[in-house]
Amino acid sequence: MHLDAVSGELHYFFGPVVKDKSFIRQDMEAIEVPAAEYAVFTVPATKDIEELNDNI
């Protein structure tokens, strides 16, 4: 999303697009992504986090 001013790292955010945020747990955070042009990649469904990492 942007370079971290301290570390210089680039951050990626993964998640669904939702209209209703009422289901978001307290240990999660919703982010508003401003309208712009973005690269969008579809990642196939996986059985576990390791396979998700491989697919990405």
What does the pLDDT profile of the chain (56 residues) look like in tens digits?
566 777 877 777 777 778 888 888 888 888 887 888 877 778 888 888 888 888 87
Chain centroid to CA 39: 12
Please tell me the pTM assigned to this model. 0.37
Distances (CA, A) of 18 to 9, 23, 49: 27, 10, 22
**Encoding tokens for residue 16?**
């669904």
